Amino acid sequence: LPVFLFVAAPYIRRYVAGGRCKSTARLEGKVVIITGANTGIGKETARDLAQRGKVIIACRDLAKGEAAASEIRAETGNQQVIVKKLDLADTKSIREFAEKFLAEEKELHILINNAGVMLCPYSKTADGFEMHLGVNHLGHFLLTFFLLERLKQSAPARIVNVSSLAHHGGRIRFHDLHGEKSYNRGLAYCHSKLANLLFTRELARRLQGKSRGEQITANALHPGSVYSELVRHSFIMTWLWKIFSFFLKTPCEGAQTSIYCAVAEELDSVTGQYFSDCQPAYVSPRGRDDETAKKLWSVSCELLGIQWD
């Protein structure tokens, strides 16, 4: 068995690594926002895109954000890697981030909604939303709402939402969206990842029909099972992640589909789709439910106190 594992190891790793983004597209003169890009796949996405154009790292922890940006600047030679404070668990912070960005930047070409929380003990955001739903879905929903006009002005533009294979285990529980009647941290994550997919689907539907000059695409993706800090709230998962790290993607490998959705030329007019390993992937029936997608959109607007027609 040890001999077999030794011989098979490179092939196993190659399989685990999955697809790679092969696009060499440049982003000169273009602006990219990546949420949660101070660590994990967000940081690796920023590292790659910083070799192509201007990147804004939007994150809650400015010290970690600056450390990541400094490392990326040194490695790529691109000084246009900028850190801005954004706490997706606080709608006030989201509004402030958007206002500052819109005042300072006249264009936005790619928005990557990457940040997320996973397996959190029950808690609520500053606005009283269950943490997974509030950060993973509602926070990015509101951020996209605030930035959409700038994306339209800069079109063609892309919105990339990082979802997960975990959406297969999710349901949109309209009767208990904030988990006050029953709560399971694993299922709460699944529910929020399903919400990411339904948001992408409805957003793409609403944006379609634009002329080529105004085109904005919206796609979602599963990054793979990645060895990252995302499981830090669970001792068991952290332990298992360390034991089975050989069978998990590195953050760089996990970032490939985000990069692909952001820059691949063949996706110029592709919208409302879901990708994994840089290719189309299967979406669960719940993730294809247009009625649920429309209702979630309406309920999200009500919760956030916005009108988005």
Q: Taking a C-beta distance cutoff of 8 angstroms, is the pair 99, 54 a contact?
A: no
260 is catalytic: no
Start-to-end Cα distance in the chain? 60
Considering the candidates 183, 189, 227, 274, report the single residue annotated as catalytic: 189
Structure-token pair, residue 126: 């500053």
> Which residues are identified as catalytic?
189
